[in-house]
Structure formats: C-alpha cells, structure tokens
Amino acid sequence: MTGVSHDRTRRGFASDNYSGVHPEVMDALARANGGHQTAYGADVYTDRLAAVFRTHFGDDALAYPVFNGTGSNVTALQSMLPRWGAVICSSVAHIHTDENGAPERIGGLKLLPVECPDGKLTPELVASEAWGWGDVHRAQPLVVSITQTTEIGTLYTVEEIRAITRQAHELGMRVHMDGARASNAAAALDAPLRAFTTDAGVDVLSFGGTKNGMMFGEAIVVLDPDASYGLDYLRKSNMQLASKMRFVSAQLLALLEGDLFLRNARRSNAMAARLRHALETGIDAGMLPGVEFTQPTQSNAVFASLPAAVAERLRGRFPFYDWDAARGEVRWMCGFDTEAEDIDDFVEALTSELVA
C-alpha cells in the first residue's frame, strides 16, 4: 500500500463518474487477470463480448471496445463521415459542450448545434440545420447525433427516436447515439437496449460503461454495417485501441452477460426519483424556499435552482456541480452506489441551510 487513502463513506451528487467500481465488475477484472491472452482484442473475452452485444443489439451488431466516452464518440462519428461532413446535435450535447473541441480538433468534424430547451432534438429542430447539400461553401450535414439519456437527464421515447431516424434516413443522413447512459434509458423505458437503438433505426451507438459501474471503458457498437467505415484503423489512430483489451471486455461482459447493467441503472434512477420526491415534499411543506426544479427527472439526474450561497455551503459536505451558474441551476447526479441514507442526509442538510 502507498499509504494514500480516502474516506470511503463519503458520497456526493457531482457525477456518476465519481463512483467506484461495482464489486461484480472488480471480480470480473480479477478473473481476467493472470496468464497470457493475445493482445489488441484477439482474446477470449473480446470474442465472447462480440456475441453478447449481438444478443442485445441484433445479429449485425459489431462491437469495438474503447477507453472512454470522448474517444467513443469521436471515433464513431469519424467512421460515419467524409472529411467534409457535419453533425447536427443538441446545443447541450456532450460532443458540443464537454469534449474540449475533440470532435473538431481530433475528428475533423463540423458540429451544427441546435438549441434544445429539454436537450432533445426533434425532426423540426433537425430540419433547421438539414440543408445545403451540394453547396461547396457549407459543411455537409450527414449525421444526426442524439444523446440517450440527455445531458439534462431527459429521456427520448422510442417513437421520438424513430421520428428522427426516419427523417434522417429519408434525407440521406445517418444517426449516431451517444449512449453514455443508455443503460439508464433502458431502465427508465423498461425496454431492451435494442428497442430504442437498432429497432428504432439508430445506425451507430456509443455505449457507456464507466458511469454504470465500470473502472474504465466504453464500446462503439455499429448497428448498421453500411453506416460506418474504417473503425479498425480509426480506433488505433485515435489512440483508443487497448493492447490489454481483455480488461475492458471483461468489464463489459460483467455488465451485459447478465442483468448488472440494468440493476445498476435502476438503482441510480430510483435514487434520483427518491431525491426528487423528497425535495417535492419539502417544497410543498414550505421547507425549501428558493428551490425550484428546472427539468423533469426521468433518469438519474435532478436539475434544480437554489440560492448560490446555499449551494456553495452545501457543496462542502456533498459535492455537486453548477449547471448554469447565471440562473442558479445545479445538477445532482445519482450513481449505482448512491444509498437512501445519502439522499436523506442531503435533504436534511439542504433544509437546514434554507430554514436557518
């Protein structure tokens, strides 16, 4: 041991990336350790993972394990576009706001963001940027990227996704889904993963694992092989090809071979619902003056506004982030390891701050 440690009992609401590794995932890593396995994906775990992804997404699904979400999104989009291509996305999409320009800098892509108050694109919103084909002065809109669940915790229904994919395909465009929280969407919709991806017309998926109990790792899942080209090479050139890929694949197997991906997501969604209910009760009782919800709670995130001074004091005990500091909007995220006691303690502390 190095002597470095931390308080293992302390949890907050800053991000589902703050959580540790689920014990079943840690066990899977330990079982994958020892001995030698062929590097760069030619191992028994990655081979098995390919079959497991097909059970969730259909016989044509091709899975490419990668290190992280940004790498997954950038590499997936690169494989879907020529150099002159552009991506229509929400103005709050992770690829637009939280990847430090990686789609543009690394991917060489042009993003066409559209204002979406609830984080969700619609065919009408897509149409505002779906134009200019054949115009050499305009980057060609060839992909629509949607996020499920969205960055502000909202959820696309299956029909809403189908409407977007129908429109995109009719216009000759493809559809990418940033599924960093796809498991939370499956839990919230009470539907199989393929219901809102493959069966809804999505072409390429970035499937998330890190936010749902893994140590590291995501996967690019090609649902329509005609929609993606060169991923084997792009994954390497984008520094997303793990030499010891068995340790990424073993974690994804732990999530997907059984129902761990759903159990974890249901837990985080349920904790957010518990937090929302407790806050609603406090608001109704007049115990939480200045607290107002800014978005519906449909997955594992609660968005609300509260006085800045209160937020700052509360953060000392329960880490969380501002979402829009100008209007006092904050984000509270729940993870697979959030406990009911964490919710109760947080609401009690918030109440004390507001009624003091």
- Sheet of strand 301-305: strand arrangement: 292-293, 301-305, 329-333, 321-324
* Pairing of the two strands 204-208 and 174-179: parallel
* pLDDT at site 255: 98
Instruction: Tell me the C-alpha distance between 110 and 87, whole Å.
Output: 6
> In this predicted model, what pLDDT tens digit does every residue of 210-226 receive, in sequence order?
999 999 999 999 999 99
Instruction: Tell me the C-alpha distance between 218 and 352, whole Å.
Output: 40
Sign of CA dihedral 116, 85, 226, 47: negative
Contacts of 321 (CB under 8 A, 6+ apart): 14, 15, 330, 331
* pLDDT at site 1: 55
Strands (DSSP E) along the chain, which ranges?
62-66, 85-90, 110-114, 140-147, 174-179, 204-208, 218-222, 292-293, 301-305, 321-324, 329-333
> In this predicted model, what pLDDT tens digit does every residue of 142-193 receive, in sequence order?
999 999 999 999 999 999 999 999 999 999 999 999 999 999 999 999 999 9
* pLDDT at site 355: 82
Please state whether 48 falls in left (phi above 0), alpha (psi between -120 and 50) or beta: alpha
Low-confidence ranges of the chain (pLDDT < 70): 1-2, 356
Number of helical (H) and strand (E) elements in the chain, helices listed first: 13, 11
Tell me phi and psi for residue 151, to 5 degrees.
Answer: -65, -15
* pLDDT at site 296: 97
Domains and CATH numbers, the chain: 23-258 (3.40.640.10), 261-355 (3.90.1150.10)
